[in-house]
Each structure stands twice: as structure tokens, then as C-alpha cells.
A and B are shown apart, each in its own frame.
Chain A
Amino acid sequence: MKFRDVILKYYKMVYHISLEYLRRKEDAEDIVQEVFFKYAKYINEEKKTFEDELHEKYWIIRITINSCCNYLKDPKRKKDLEDKKDVIMKDNLLFDEIQKLEDMYKSVFILHYLEDFKTNDIGAILEVSEETVKTRLKRARECLKDGLKIEE
């Protein structure tokens, strides 16, 4: 597959995951750019290849999530998000709560509930066991329900 095709195939998925993580369109655009730049570097400079299409897709998702987590480590960016400066869905309570989740819960929650990945796929993407994914999902749901004050 040509590089252009890889971009066309995955840019939307990368953009959506980034938006779910970062809430700001500008930030998500930065991540999209960064992910594909890393991809080009991975293939060209590091001379790496992918076993198959799925391997490639999972790699791209993993890089997207890692890039988002690193992006939020910048205190200024974090503050912008806390102040809800230019964020999408400003008044959505659930989306607010998702942002408050710890990274390990946030990633599984986003991939499962917002991107429709199965737990075994998430395990392969994040390189953890399926059991770990299930446990994290359970914990994420509990945290969100606590935050939203929803009873079981």
C-alpha cells in the first residue's frame, strides 16, 4: 500500500481517537501529523515492516494513544483542557468524566466504547492480556458512573 493510501485509510480513525483524548481539534490535528510522520520514519529510517494489515493498524493506534498521552504531559496543554479552551462538547458530562480517567482506563474505554474494538483486539493493540483489558474496562465504567452519579 502506498503511503498516501495509508494516510487516507487511517487518518479519520487517528483523528477521532485523538479528539476523544484531547477534545481540541487543533491538538488532534497535531497528533494526526505526528502519527503519520512517525509512520514514515518507522518505515524509511528504521527500515521496519509490518506483518500484515492488522499489525499495521494496531501499531498506528498504539502510536496515536502514546502520542496523546505524551501531549497531555505538557502542563500548558493540560491547563487549556481543564479551562475547556476551544474544546468540543463543552457541556457533555460524560465526556468531561472520560477526560478525568487515568490513561490506562481512558485508553481501553475509548477503544472499546467509542471505537468499537473488542477486548481481545484492545489487548493486542495495547500489548496487555484480555483479562487486564476487561478489568480496566470495569474500573473505567465504575469511575464514570461514580462521576456521573449513576447507580448500577
Chain B
Amino acid sequence: MEKFEVELKIVKSKIHEEDLAEDFRDKLERELCEKYNNANASKNKFKLLRKPVLTCKNVAAVFVCFLLLSGCAFADDIEDFIKFMFSNVSQSAKIAYEEGNCIKVDSEYQTYDNVSAKVEYISLKNDELYIVFDVKTEEEFDKIYLEGLKLENAGEEIEYSQSSYDVKRENLEKCKLIARLSLNTNENKDIKSLKISFESIVLRNGNDNEIKKFDNHWNFELNL
């Protein structure tokens, strides 16, 4: 039975490492969307989801208000952070900072086994939301990501269509994990409080493809 489980784990992790080649994905998106749009002149046929979702515009507005209210206390701090964090990650994150849509949150650390995490910054530009986590662990890993990530605004789910993760190491035991989420922007909604929850922090070690999951039902509630 043990051998079966181990083999299963290997197959699963190898498959889930695979992704479509970028050029194929671009082509697929472009060509199929073109076909779809040509066939579909009417714009309102595609209302499959009725759940209200957050608009980036409103999130941005709230973030700007937050910054206005809280003054410039974090300005230098955030500038250093942006230089450190996003220099190679995203141009839009830099723009988010320049336009004032980046805030320092600094929640309390939560710990499970020997992994601790806290939310440190949130940044938003257009439909891209970045959440920066500070993660401390003595575990060895070369890839880290979250599973089951959910965002809620005052009890209502904020929907996103895609997520990706980037990591910047500070030292052997500390790193910044950047979650990049493409938000859906269907309806207007004001953000009141942001709840970030996820089932597990996953650490993967590339040498032997070992995966360790830290299932703590992590939950960060932020009042913005």
C-alpha cells in the first residue's frame, strides 16, 4: 500500500508540474477568443456567473483612501520593499506603488508545525492583486505555493481567474512569497475587510520531488 501511495504522489506531482507552452497558450487564447468574438456579436450572452465580485477600481480607490488616511508613514519602507520584491517580478506592481495602490498590512504570524506565515503587503494594479507573505521555516524547499486560496470581502468571495507564485529568499529560513492573482471584474463592490484564507502551504523539494503540505486552514482577516 505504501509503495502505491508513493508512486501515486510521484505521478501526481509530475503531471501538475506540466504547463502548456507559453506560445501555444497565447495562440489558443488569441485564436479561440477571436473565433468566439466573431461569432458572438452580442456582448451580454456570456453572463454565466451571477455572484457579485470586487472591482479592481474600487479596491484601488479604497487603497488610495487608506494611504491618504494613514499618511506617509510607510512610504520609505514600501519603496524599499518594492525595489526588493518586484524588481524582477512585475512592471505593474511598480506602477501600483507609483500610483499609491500598495499598502503595508503586517498581520500577526500564524504558525503550524515549523512553518510560520504572515501577510505583509498588498498591492493592486488593474486586475492584478499581489499579496506578499512573509514565511519562516527551517524546511528545505525550492518551490513554495498555497493551496485552496480564497479571498473574501465582507463575507463575499472575491473571484480570481488565475494565480501564480513567486518567491524571494531573504536567508535560509525566511522568504517572501508573492501570490499574484488575476481578479475577475464583473460587478461593482466596495471593499470593507479582506479575508485571506487557504488550506495549505506547500513546500516542494526538487531533488527528490518531495512535497510537504502544512494544512492549517490559514486565515488572515484584514481591516482596510
Interface residues of A (CB under 8 A from B): 1-5, 7-9, 11-12, 15-16, 19-20, 25, 29, 32-33, 36-37, 40, 43-45, 47, 49-50, 52-53, 56, 88-89, 92-95, 98, 113-114, 141, 144-145, 148, 150, 152
- Interchain CA distance A11-B48 in the complex, whole Å: 18
Whether A9 lies near B39 (C-beta < 8 A) is no
Contact B186 A15 (CB under 8 A): no
Q: How many A-B residue pairs have CB under 8 A?
A: 108
With an 8 A cutoff between CB atoms, is B16 at the interface? yes
Q: Are B36 and A89 in contact (CB under 8 A)?
A: no
Q: Is the pair A7, B33 in contact by a Cβ cutoff of 8 Å?
A: yes
**Bound state CA distance, A11 and B25, in angstroms?**
9
Contact check, B49 vs A145: say whether CB atoms are below 8 A apart: no
Chain B positions near chain A (C-beta within 8 angstroms): 1, 3-4, 7-8, 10-12, 14-16, 18-21, 24-25, 28-29, 32-33, 35-37, 39-40, 45-46, 48-51, 161-162, 182, 184, 186
Q: Judging by beta carbons under 8 Å apart, are B18 and A25 in contact?
A: yes
Known contacts A3-B46, A9-B161; is-contact A95 B11 (Cβ 8 Å): yes
Given known pairs A8-B161, A9-B161, A148-B3, the reply for A56 and B15 (CB within 8 Å) is: no
A16 & B7 in contact (Cβ 8 Å cutoff): no
Q: Show 23 A/B contacts (Cβ-Cβ < 8 Å), sorted by A.
A: A3-B36, A5-B161, A5-B184, A9-B161, A11-B25, A12-B19, A15-B19, A29-B20, A32-B20, A36-B28, A37-B32, A40-B36, A53-B49, A53-B51, A92-B7, A92-B10, A92-B14, A94-B8, A94-B10, A113-B8, A141-B4, A145-B4, A148-B7
Main SS class of interface, A: helix
Contact A2 B46 (CB under 8 A): yes
Other A-B contacts than A11-B28, A15-B18, A94-B11, 19 sampled, CB-CB below 8 A, are A1-B46, A1-B184, A4-B33, A5-B184, A7-B28, A16-B15, A19-B15, A20-B15, A32-B20, A33-B28, A33-B32, A43-B46, A52-B49, A53-B48, A89-B14, A92-B7, A94-B8, A113-B12, A114-B11
Instruction: Summarize B's interface: helix, strand, loop or mixed.
Output: helix
When distances are taken between beta carbons in the complex, the residues of chain A under 8 Å from B51 are: 53
- What residues on A are CB-neighbors of B18 within 8 Å? 15-16, 19, 25, 88
B207 to chain A, nearest CB (A): 18
Question: What A residues does B184 contact at CB under 8 A?
Answer: 1, 5
Residue of B nearest to A93 (CB): B7
A16 to B4 CA separation, bound complex (whole angstroms): 20
A-B CB proximity, top 9 nearest: A94-B7, A44-B39, A3-B36, A40-B36, A9-B161, A5-B161, A8-B161, A8-B162, A50-B48
Assembly CA distance A95 to B50 (angstroms): 40
Q: Give Cα distance in the complex from A92 to B14, angstroms.
A: 11
Query: What residues on B are CB-neighbors of A113 within 8 Å?
Result: 8, 12
Q: How far is the CA of A114 from the CA of B61 in the complex (A)?
A: 41
Residues in A with CB closer than 8 Å to B11 are: 89, 92, 94-95, 98, 114
Chain B hits for A152, CB < 8 A: 1
